[in-house]
Structures are given as structure tokens and as C-alpha cells.
Structure 1
Amino acid sequence: MKATAGEAYPRKGANRGLSVLDLFFRIISAVGTLGSAVAVGTTDETLPFITQFFRFRARYDDIPSFTFFVIANAIVCGYLVLSLPISIYHIIRSKANNSRVILIIFDAAMLALVTAGASAAAAIVYLAHKGNTSTNWFAICQQFNSFCKRISGSLIGSFGSSVLLVLTITTAAIAISRR
């Protein structure tokens, strides 16, 4: 039985709609990862101690987990920006499935990278807020308040980008399965 023209157009329109949604998710994810990388990468706070010659300083590159966080978010942001033309191509050619499969593979790898970076930073932020008395790690967020606020806020953008990458993978998978 041959499909009529009325049945063929909704599927193409649905794939085009999923492609537009994919593009939107990619743009918002790129903004989230860029914002997170910049917020942590520019975090620096100095506190005076006894005299002005002795100071305590908190920077992101003092802790390797934050350095990994910045690098992971920058890589994912770069990937998302570079994948935008392919996403636009999917809006124009909604039946292109080979490139969607490749994007799903790379999206999954970037999802793993951004989640690993955000999780590593979240563990350190938790220690900075709560400390650990059994290992004599003291909570530093009472002293370095703006440092902790910026790092904590950037985690929201990074984990939000993780959720959007999951939605991006899901929309691409749905577009492939609708073929």
C-alpha cells in the first residue's frame, strides 16, 4: 500500500521540528558550558591574613578538579559550536541519518566528558562547603564566599548542559527512528 502525500509530510515536518529542537538544545548547551568555563576560569579571591604581606588566595587552578572542569567545559563548548552547521544541515535535509548517527556518538562522548568534569568539581565544592572533620579538611566557604558562590553557580550551567545533551541525543534518536 502506497503512502499518500498527506501521510508523508507530517513525518518530514516532525523530523524538521526535531532538528530545530536539536539546534536549540545545542545553542543553549554551548552557552551553558561556555558560561561555566568562563565563570570558573576567572574565579580568584584573595583574603588578607594578619598583615597585608601574608594573604590567602583561592584560584581555580589551585585545585586540579576545577582545572579539569574548565577544560572539559571548554572542549564541550567547542564541539557544540562546531556541530551547529551539521545541525542546521539536518533542518534543511531532514532525512540525513548517517550524520545524525555520528552526532549521537560524539554527543554521548561529550555528555560523558561534561558530566565527569561537573561531578569532579561538585565533589570539591561539597568539601569546600561542608569540610570533612575525619580528615581535618576544613570548610573554606565561610572565608572565600565569592569564590564558592561562583563555582557553585557554574555547576548549575554545566549540569544543565548535561541534561540538554541527553535531550539532544534523545531527539536525534527519535528523528532516526521516525525514518
Structure 2
Amino acid sequence: MKADAIELGEWKSSAKRGGLNRGVSILDFILRIVAFLGTVGSAIGMATTNETLPFVTQFVRFRAEYNDLPMFTFFVIANSIVSAYLLLSLPLSIFHILRSSAERSRILFIFLDTAMLGLLTAGASAAASIVYLAHKGNAKANWFAICRQFNSFCERTSGSLIGSFLGVVAFILLILLSAVALSRR
């Protein structure tokens, strides 16, 4: 009789853990979708950013495009790679919802999510430094703040950064969630 009570108690605690892990897996899936939307929106927003201003005459114009600066190109490439990874990781995230006891794939997620976090942080940080210079300039280096002239260009690049940093926060939470799910075993 006592052994049956112990087995019943173990079954209840494992069912409670399974329910908690399923909840963590659902939150993981939702965060992946949020991160995907943020990174793909950032990549598209930055890749379609350009503005043309007339100079003294109609025939001489100044044009600002994202691919004029290598940091913005890196930003678009990094966000595109991370978006593709997030899209490809969604089926495995669904697998975790269905089978919450999978450990090896969660360990794989921790490694890959950490690599993608590094790539996304590098791209967003490089672009953020250029956006800062575009807004503020640097008098010591004779770099002028171009956002006074190229308002639309600066607004779109700043908006793209928001989505990318949203993806960074989502990745930090994803890594923590995977670690919590593994530690509950």
C-alpha cells in the first residue's frame, strides 16, 4: 500500500513537471514568433530605406541608401540569417510542445540560440553606432549629423533597430527558458 502511494506521488509530480514544461514550450514558440517578426521586419525595413534630396538644382541630388554603409548591409544580412533560423526552428519548437521531455534538442537550441544572439547583437550594435552618428554627428572627426537633412532615412533606420533589439531580448528569454526546461528534469 505504501509503495502505491509513493508511485502515485511520483506520478503526480512528473505530471506537474510535464505540464510546466509544456507551458515553457508554448512560451518558447510564442517568443520565436515574436523574434521572427521583429528580425524580419527589421531586415525589410532597413533594406528598403533610401531617401533622395535635391541639392542646388534639380539635376544634382544627394541620395542616402542603406547599402552605402557596410554596417547597415551587415545588419540586413544578420537579421535575415536570424530570421531564417527562427523560421526553421519553429517545427522543432512545436515538437517540444508535443513532447516536452526532449532534452537533446533543447541543448541544441541553447547552443544555436546563443550563436544567433551573438550574430544579432553584433549586427544591431554596428547599425546602432551609425544611427547614433547620423543623429548626433561627431565634431572632432568632422562628421555631420545627416538626420537634419535625411529625416525619413533616419526614422526608418531607427525603427529597424527597435525590431532587432526586440529580437535580442527575445533570444535572451529563449535561452533562459531552455535552461529552465532542462533544469526541471
Report how many aligned residue pairs link the two structures. Answer: 179
Q: Give the structure 1 partner of residue 92 of structure 2.
A: 86
Q: Give the structure 2 partner of residue 50 of structure 1.
A: 56
Q: Give the structure 2 partner of residue 142 of structure 1.
A: 148
For residues 130 and 114 of structure 1, the distance between their equivalents in structure 2, rounded to whole angstroms, comes to 24
* Deviation for aligned residue 1:8: 1.6
**Which is higher, the Rg of structure 1 or of structure 2?**
2
Q: Give the structure 1 partner of residue 102 of structure 2.
A: 96
Alignment pair present for 1:27 and 2:46: no
Which secondary structure state, in structure 2, belongs to the residue aligned with residue 52 of structure 1? coil
Q: Tell me, which stretches of 5 or more residues in structure 1 are unaligned?
A: none
Which secondary structure state, in structure 1, belongs to the residue aligned with residue 60 of structure 2? strand
For residues 68 and 149 of structure 2, the distance between their equivalents in structure 1, rounded to whole angstroms, comes to 16
Q: Tell me, which stretches of 5 or more residues in structure 2 are unaligned?
A: 1-5
For residues 160 and 118 of structure 2, the distance between their equivalents in structure 1, rounded to whole angstroms, comes to 18
Alignment pair present for 1:170 and 2:181: no
**C-alpha root-mean-square deviation of aligned residues, in Å?**
0.8
The aligned amino acid for 1:102 is: L
Instruction: Return the match for 2:22 from 6, 13, 16.
Output: 16
The aligned amino acid for 1:119 is: S
The aligned amino acid for 2:61 is: R
Q: Give the structure 2 partner of residue 7 of structure 1.
A: 13
Instruction: Return the match for 1:72 from 78, 90, 97.
Output: 78
Q: Give the structure 2 partner of residue 113 of structure 1.
A: 119
The aligned amino acid for 1:63 is: L
Instruction: Return the match for 1:62 from 58, 65, 68.
Output: 68
Q: Which deviations, in whole Å up to 9, do the C-alpha atoms of 1:102-151 show, x marking residues without a partner?
A: 01100000000000000000000000000000010000000000000000
* Deviation for aligned residue 1:161: 0.5
